[in-house]
């Protein structure tokens, strides 16, 4: 059983919660920091004229050189009004001439005048941080104004707006109602977004869980399981890809089942095809051995029957050999130019004795000046021979079989037709399947092996063609294919 954190939903939810927490902490840090900057900016802006007012009050005393007395007196007055204010009088270079804090608290005797000039000239946005004499490591917001010192020397009134009496910024923020409210608000937001996010992830991953369930049932053997998927997002595309894969696997399983059925039928058919002539051969041989009179006519008939069955076994073995080579893809057409007209003439001469024996007229009809075709002459001879043999076997006495050759564009159209028994239209697509047999003798014995047209169809396919079959019951059958008059591109480059 998978633990929650090992599931996709658990991992996404945990990652989301971690990111949400990090985002809340970042927002809190940024908010508190900028809140402090905002307070400092407001404080400096509101007290911008404070130093100028103090300089106006102390101008006469400072001009007379009474720095310590005037600053001490003003410092006591400011401490009563605002304890966090600290007053300093600086010369033009920033050296401290007098200060309101106790001497032991002041750690430096000079401050930088650059922030003072920036504040007086409005050259930088607020807040502007200045040196804090009591703690140089902790810059403070301030107010400053120019003043004339003894002898009309330039100087500054420098007021720290938040001295030690105000406490640290951290302690101020800790005690701030706004900060506490902000923290509570962020916690509420974190809780709300966490609950909503986890719920939404549960809805989103539900489709993944459904897909997982479908895949498991499919794995268990239910090959009809499919996803109700529309490719509107990645999950839908994944579901559709699974459906397509499942269809492919189901089709392959069905093909394997059909192949297994064909294998069983093959074994039965081969057993029958071999058993029948072997039984006949054995029977005639036994009669020959048991006959005492040794009648020459009967012997001749028996030997003729034995010879016919032997020829049938030989053809069957040859067909199986050819079929096994095609299945193993050991047959690679050797493309060469040759005269299709001469090849067909030779085939007609070869089958003429069989045609005369069956009382069937065998004829060849061809266009004049047919060009050479580019194909494997041995395979094409086998193809046409199979078609002619099939036509003669299914044409009754008095019928006719003819081979027609005609030029159609850059291809030669080869057609073998007969006036035989034909076949039903719904069985035409099946005759090129191996061991499929239609015609039967009166005793129900299958005629032929059912391999001739199958081999012919595969040879045609090797030559980028196909058997075009047209047949009707009692009207005959027409089977055609085509051959190129130009060599294929691969042969040209080879």
Whole-number Cα distances in Å, 253 to 124, 245, 260, 401, 433 = 79, 12, 10, 43, 20
Do the domain assignments include residue 155? yes
Instruction: Identify whether residues 389 and 466 lie together within a single domain.
Output: yes
Do the domain assignments include residue 225? no
Whether pTM > 0.85 for this model: the answer is: no
- Residue 65 is predicted with a pLDDT of 83
Whole-number Cα distances in Å, 172 to 25, 32, 168, 325, 463 = 19, 11, 6, 94, 93
- Residue 442 is predicted with a pLDDT of 46
Q: Mention every residue, 6+ apart, whose C-beta is less than 8 A from residue 331.
A: 325, 379, 462
Q: What percent of the chain has pLDDT over 70?
A: 74
Do the domain assignments include residue 226? no
Do the domain assignments include residue 363? yes
Q: Residue 293: pLDDT above 60?
A: no
CA distance 82 to 76: 10
> Which band of pLDDT confidence, cut at 50, 70 and 90, is reported for residue 374?
very high
Provide the CA 289 distance to its chain's centre, in angstroms. 74
Instruction: Identify whether residues 480 and 347 lie together within a single domain.
Output: yes
Tens-place pLDDT, residues 25-61: 787 777 777 777 788 888 888 888 888 898 888 888 8
Mean per-residue pLDDT, 394-406: 92
Do the domain assignments include residue 167? no
Mean per-residue pLDDT, 221-245: 75
Tens-place pLDDT, residues 259-281: 677 666 665 566 556 666 667 77
Do the domain assignments include residue 165? no
- Residue 445 is predicted with a pLDDT of 45
> Which band of pLDDT confidence, cut at 50, 70 and 90, is reported for residue 99?
confident
Instruction: Identify whether residues 184 and 111 lie together within a single domain.
Output: no
CATH of the domain at 112: 3.30.450.20
Instruction: Identify whether residues 111 and 205 lie together within a single domain.
Output: no
Tens-place pLDDT, residues 132-148: 998 888 899 999 999 98
User: What is the Cα Rg of the chain in Å?
Assistant: 54
> Which band of pLDDT confidence, cut at 50, 70 and 90, is reported for residue 484?
very high
Provide the CA 121 distance to its chain's centre, in angstroms. 64
Q: Which of 287, 322, 357 is the last residue of a domain?
A: 322
Instruction: Identify whether residues 469 and 399 lie together within a single domain.
Output: yes
Instruction: Identify whether residues 266 and 356 lie together within a single domain.
Output: no
- Opening angle at CA 471, ends 469 and 472, nearest 5: 165
- Residue 187 is predicted with a pLDDT of 79
Return mean pLDDT, the chain: 79
What angle do helix axes 8-46 and 177-219 make, rounded to 10 degrees? 160
Domain that includes residue 475, residue range: 332-493
Do the domain assignments include residue 166? no
Element (H, E) at 150: none
How many domains does one find in the chain? 4
Do the domain assignments include residue 169? no
Tens-place pLDDT, residues 322-338: 655 555 555 677 889 99
């Amino acid at each position: 059983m998978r633990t929650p954190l090992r599931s996709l939903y658990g991992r996404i939810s945990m990652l989301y919660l971690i990111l949400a927490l990090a985002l809340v902490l970042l927002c809190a840090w940024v908010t508190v920091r900028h809140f402090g900057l905002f307070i400092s900016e407001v404080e400096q802006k509101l007290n911008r004229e404070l130093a100028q007012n103090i300089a106006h009050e102390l101008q006469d005393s400072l001009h007379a050189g009474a720095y310590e007395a005037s600053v001490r007196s003003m410092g006591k007055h400011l401490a009563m009004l605002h304890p966090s204010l600290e007053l300093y009088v600086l010369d033009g270079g920033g050296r401290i001439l007098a200060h309101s804090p106790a001497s032991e608290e002041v750690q430096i005797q000079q401050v930088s005048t650059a922030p003072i000039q920036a504040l007086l000239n409005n050259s930088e946005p607020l807040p502007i941080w200045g040196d804090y004499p009591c703690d140089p490591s902790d810059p403070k917001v301030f107010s400053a104004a120019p003043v004339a010192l003894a002898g009309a020397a330039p100087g500054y009134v420098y007021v720290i707006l938040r001295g030690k009496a105000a406490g640290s910024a951290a302690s101020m923020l800790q005690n701030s109602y706004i900060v506490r409210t902000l923290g509570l608000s962020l916690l509420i937001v974190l809780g709300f977004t966490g609950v909503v996010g986890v719920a939404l992830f549960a809805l989103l991953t539900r489709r993944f869980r459904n897909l997982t369930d479908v895949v498991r049932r499919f794995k268990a053997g239910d090959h009809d399981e499919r996803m109700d998927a529309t490719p509107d997002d990645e999950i839908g595309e994944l579901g559709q890809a699974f459906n397509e894969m499942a269809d492919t696997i189901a089709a392959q399983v069905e093909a394997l089942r059909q192949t297994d059925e064909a294998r069983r039928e093959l074994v039965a058919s081969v057993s029958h095809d071999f058993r029948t002539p072997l039984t006949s051969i054995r029977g005639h041989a036994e009669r020959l051995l048991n006959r005492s009179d040794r009648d020459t006519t009967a012997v001749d008939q028996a030997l003729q029957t034995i010879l016919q069955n032997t020829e049938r076994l030989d053809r069957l073995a040859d067909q199986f050999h050819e079929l096994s080579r095609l299945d193993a893809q050991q047959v690679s057409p050797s493309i060469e130019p040759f005269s299709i007209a001469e090849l067909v003439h030779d085939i007609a001469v070869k089958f003429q004795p069989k045609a005369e024996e069956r009382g069937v007229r065998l004829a060849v009809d061809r266009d004049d000046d047919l060009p050479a075709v580019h194909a494997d002459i041995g395979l094409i001879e086998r193809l046409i021979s199979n078609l002619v043999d099939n036509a003669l076997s299914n044409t009754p006495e008095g019928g006719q079989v003819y081979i027609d050759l005609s030029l159609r564009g850059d291809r030669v159209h080869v057609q073998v037709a007969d006036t035989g028994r034909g076949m039903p239209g719904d069985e035409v697509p099946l005759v090129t399947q191996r061991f499929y047999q239609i015609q039967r003798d009166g005793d129900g014995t299958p005629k032929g092996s059912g391999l001739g047209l199958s081999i012919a169809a595969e040879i045609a396919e090797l030559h980028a063609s196909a058997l075009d079959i047209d047949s009707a019951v009692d009207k005959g059958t027409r089977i055609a294919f085509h051959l190129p008059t130009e060599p294929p591109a691969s042969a040209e480059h080879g």
